[in-house]
Amino acid sequence: MSPRTTRGARPGARGDDQRGDDLRAVRPGTSRPGSAHPDARLHLAARLEDAFDRRVAAVLARRGWTLRIEPYAGYGAPGWVRVFARTLLAAPVVHEQDLPGAGAAAQAGARPAAAVRGWRSFATAQVAGAWVEVRVGDRVHRVETDRGGYLDVRLASDLAPGWHDVELRAADGARATAPVHVIGPDVRSGIVSDIDDTVLVTRLPRIFVAAWNTLVRHENAREPVPGMAGLYARLLAGRDMPVVYLSTGAWNAAPAIGRFLRRFGFPPGPMLLTDWGPTNTGWFRSGREHKLSQLRRLTEELPQVSWVLIGDDGQHDPQIYAHAAQERPERVRAILLRQLTFAEHVLAHGLPVPASGSVRAEDQASRDGIPVLQGADGYELLRAVQQARITLE
């Protein structure tokens, strides 16, 4: 069977995405970081960023920086896959294993790459508007990166359920391989997990500590939340179920996150992160809206899956998960919340106890019939899960 070729429109354009074999860069009613409708006028912040990026890219290219493709782990179902990647320029001293894409293979359960300090992952410059050939099984699609250099595209596929490799190739010959997890139609349960202070101790609200953890601290020194890997393993019980790591963290942190999760025994699964910086409509993007929109998309794309939502009570996870439960209660199996310590709560929102909004959200989810379980770590949460007799199908 000869490969089939799909020519993708510019990200955000709507012309060709109605044809059966064409890519769908964005599902109706959703948006992705950095994407733009070509007829819409970008916000001043986005235009300034684009002008700056063009100048920087021109200078770096003259200095020998080369085009790279960063692949990220994706997911899909029979008939389609969602592929993530980014095109960027990197200095000759930055090796392939230092790029964010190095964490993608680890997220598919492969042998992790050597640990590196996080700052190397930021020694790059995005390349917008780069054409990339994506080979999905016997199908070949040609797609273009958005203004942030990202690919977030839903493509026609003939892949069977399980983990597969998708080949990516740029016009100048740069290549990469992105793993994708195709979810079978008989799968009924899955896990959506926050990252910061849920599986990885980050103390994210303390911006200087977060910057140290991300840019300087060796990833081997990062701390897992006790018992969380064991909790996930017990929930999955060795079955091939989807696990999605949903965070407001930047894609640049993907290498450290991917290798950290692999090293400490967390199950493989794609990460849904964000592109920090100006958006098409403003100076800043909403982390809360990112999580809500991605949860909606998961319930739409995988309608047969009922999710266990796992987070912490220090930021907005209780409100976000309660909102998702209100919208689609049949798609939320349970909500598990790690309780932060006194000090962690103070760092998170200035109070030594959960914010009142979090408490109200937890109460609302419970009234809607969704089990809301809490514990200081994975060990306590596992005991709560066992007492509530929550199992995944």
Per-residue pLDDT reduced to its tens digit, 40-98: 565 565 566 566 666 766 776 677 677 889 899 999 999 999 999 988 887 777 666 66
Judged by average pLDDT, the poorest of 12-16, 110-114, 167-171, 231-235 is 12-16
Among the ranges given (149-153, 224-228, 246-250), the one the predictor scored with the smallest mean pLDDT: 246-250
The answer to whether the Cα torsion of 34, 40, 42, 43 is positive or negative is negative
Question: 168 with 281, same domain?
Answer: no
Collapsed DSSP state (helix, strand, coil) of residue 169: strand
pLDDT at 242 over 80: yes
pLDDT at 103 over 60: no
The CATH number that applies at residue 107 is 2.60.40.10
What is the token pair recorded at 72? Answer: 């990220």
Best-predicted range by mean pLDDT among 83-97, 98-112, 190-204?
Answer: 190-204
How confident is the prediction for the chain on average, in pLDDT? 77
Eight-state DSSP code of residue 98 = G
Q: Is residue 58 part of a domain?
A: yes
Do 290 and 309 lie in a common domain? yes
Task: Kindly report which listed range (66-70, 105-109, 135-139) carries the lowest average pLDDT score.
Answer: 105-109
Residues 6+ apart with CB under 8 A from 361: 318, 319, 321, 322, 323
Percent of the chain with pLDDT strictly greater than 90: 41
pLDDT (0 to 100) of residue 355: 57
Q: Which of 61-75, 222-236, 258-272 has the highest mean pLDDT?
A: 222-236
Give the mean model confidence (pLDDT) for residues 133-157: 93
Residue 260 is predicted with a pLDDT of: 85
Are 364 and 217 found together in one domain? Answer: yes
In-domain check, residue 52: yes
Q: Which of 128-132, 228-232, 351-355, 369-373 is predicted with the least confidence, judged by mean pLDDT?
A: 351-355
Output 53 or 374, whichever has higher pLDDT: 374
Query: Which range is most confident: 13-22, 28-37, 222-231, 255-264?
Result: 222-231
Task: Identify whether residues 200 and 227 lie together within a single domain.
Answer: yes
288 shares a domain with 167: no
Residue finishing a domain among 139, 155, 182: 182
Q: Are residues 276 and 337 in the same domain?
A: yes
Residue 19 in any domain: the answer is: yes
201 and 174, same domain (yes or no):
no
Q: Give me the mean pLDDT over the 178-188 stretch.
A: 96
pLDDT digits (tens, 9 = 90+) for 297-340: 999 999 999 999 999 987 788 999 999 999 999 999 999 999 98
Q: Which of 182, 203, 224 is the last residue of a domain?
A: 182
173: in domain? yes
Span of 174-188, 200-214, 337-351, 374-388 with lowest mean pLDDT: 200-214
Residues 213 and 350 in one domain: yes
CATH classification of the domain holding 193? 3.40.50.1000
Choose the final residue of a domain: 182, 213, 229: 182
Q: What is the pLDDT of residue 117?
A: 55
Instruction: Examine the domain organization and report whether 246 and 206 are in the same domain.
Output: yes
> How many domains are there within the chain?
2
Is 347 inside any structural domain? yes
Type and span of the H or E element at 68: strand 66-77
Q: Report the number of secondary-structure helices (H) and strands (E) in the chain.
A: 10, 17
- Look at 110-114, 360-364, 381-385 and tell me which has the smallest mean pLDDT: 110-114
- Is residue 72 within 8 A of residue 178, CB to CB? The reply is yes
In a domain, 393, yes or no: no
Own/partner pairs, 199-203, CB within 8 angstroms, 24+ separation: 199/224, 199/225, 199/228, 199/229, 199/245, 199/261, 199/266, 200/224, 200/225, 200/257, 200/260, 201/225, 203/344, 203/347
Q: Looking at the structure, do residues 11 and 91 belong to the same domain, yes or no? A: yes
Residue 282 belongs to some domain of the structure: yes
Q: What is the pTM of this model?
A: 0.80
Flag whether 340 is in a domain: yes
- Domain match, 37 and 85 both: yes
Same domain, 300 and 231: yes
* Residues of the domain holding 21: 4-182
Residue-wise burial string across 156-166, b where 16 or more C-beta atoms lie within 10 A, e elsewhere: bbebebebbbb
DSSP-derived 3-state class of residue 223: strand
